[in-house]
């Protein structure tokens, strides 16, 4: 039971009765007729735009339509007052028993009340939280979790096929930096002297088949057959020193912390 849907159905039934009585022409489309709370609660419990949207296709004055529609609506036991306002708006007041009936229905159907088929099974993907694994959590992630879960539940209740997604970063640059930073901290925890330099201009060597991301501009190679020349390719920016909050990329000095470190540039001395 949805009281607004029920009253809209009442309005549509009254409009069909007006067509049958000759007060409205046949063939009118009622899909744009709505029943909503009025902008000002002092005007009533519900309002309908039926007269306003039907006036042009019916070639009638909206107020004339509204006055006849008000007569039909007033005959329903749930409607205590149906009055025309302005050029053709129709405001309604409902009896107390109409609202009390809603409470009884909610108590009788606590798990299903309010469900609808509005979504008609259409698929919706709701992504929320999706915290970056290389960065800190903050209050915005908490807010996103509450809002996202509530929105997903509401869409599900309205008949949508909802997928809840927590996006996890793939194996890209940020995760690569995280892995290298953790490795350097691991070496430091085992007593090795690791330098965490704030080298913000880092370069990527692409010439040598063994080279990978994260090489500093100390790399002196351009290709397998041309060692000793400055690479100069793919300039990148890092957000800060590696290991300081697990951000940035390891510099050449950091890469030298352990000669067995995977992906180490073979041309850094």
pLDDT tens-digit series, residues 188-226: 999 998 876 553 433 343 334 444 444 444 444 444 444
Q: What tokens appear for 217 in the block?
A: 């501009």
Residue 23 counted as domain residue: yes
82 and 136 within one domain: no
Per-residue model confidence as pLDDT tens digits over 51-97:
999 999 999 999 999 999 999 999 999 999 999 998 999 999 999 99
**Global pTM?**
0.54
pLDDT value of residue 261: 41
- What is the spatial distance between Cα 239 and Cα 249, in angstroms, rounded to a whole number? 8
220 and 160 within one domain: no
* Residue numbers of the domain that contains 220: 170-269
Per the model's pLDDT, the better-predicted residue between 229 and 28 turns out to be 28
Pairing of strands 46-48, 35-36: antiparallel
How many domains does the chain divide into?
3
Biggest distance spanned by C-alpha atoms of the chain: 97
Instruction: Give the lowest-confidence range in 44-53, 67-76, 256-265.
Output: 256-265
DSSP structure class, residue 133? T
87 and 119 within one domain: no
Sign of dihedral through CA atoms 235, 236, 241, 246? negative
Domain of 63, CATH number, reads 3.30.1360.70
58 and 83 within one domain: yes
Collapse the DSSP code of 21 into the 3-class scheme (helix H, G, I; strand E, B; otherwise coil) and give the result: coil
Q: Which residue reads 């704030």 in tokens? A: 198
- In total, the chain counts a number of residues equal to 269
**Domain end among 165, 185, 203:** 165
267 and 176 within one domain: yes
66 and 14 within one domain: yes
Residue 226 counted as domain residue: yes
Residue 61 counted as domain residue: yes
70 and 143 within one domain: no
């Amino acid at each position: 039971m949805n009281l607004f849907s029920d009253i809209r159905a009442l309005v549509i039934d009254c409009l069909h009765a007006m067509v049958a009585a000759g007060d409205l022409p046949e063939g009118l489309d009622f899909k744009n007729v709505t029943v909503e709370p009025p902008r000002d609660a002092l005007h009533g419990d519900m309002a309908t735009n039926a007269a306003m949207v039907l006036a042009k296709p019916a070639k009638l004055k909206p107020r004339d339509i509204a006055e006849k529609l008000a007569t039909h609506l007033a005959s329903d036991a749930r409607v205590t007052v149906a009055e025309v306002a302005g050029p053709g708006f129709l405001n309604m007041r409902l009896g107390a028993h109409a609202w009390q009936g809603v409470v009884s229905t909610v108590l009788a159907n606590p798990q299903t009340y309010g469900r609808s088929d509005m979504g008609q099974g259409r698929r919706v993907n709701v992504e929320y939280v999706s915290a970056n694994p290389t960065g800190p959590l903050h209050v915005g992630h908490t807010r996103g979790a509450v809002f996202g879960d509530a929105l997903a539940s509401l869409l599900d209740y309205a008949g949508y096929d909802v997928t809840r997604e927590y996006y996890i970063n793939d194996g890209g640059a940020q995760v690569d930096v995280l892995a290298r930073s953790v490795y350097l901290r691991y070496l430091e925890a085992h007593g090795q002297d690791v330098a965490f330099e704030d080298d913000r201009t880092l370069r990527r060597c692409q010439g040598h088949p063994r080279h990978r991301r994260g090489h500093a501009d100390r790399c002196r190679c351009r290709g397998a057959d041309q060692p000793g020349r400055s690479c100069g390719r793919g300039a990148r920016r890092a957000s800060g020193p590696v290991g300081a909050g697990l951000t940035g990329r390891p510099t050449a000095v950091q890469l030298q912390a352990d000669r067995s470190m995977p992906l180490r540039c073979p041309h850094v001395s």
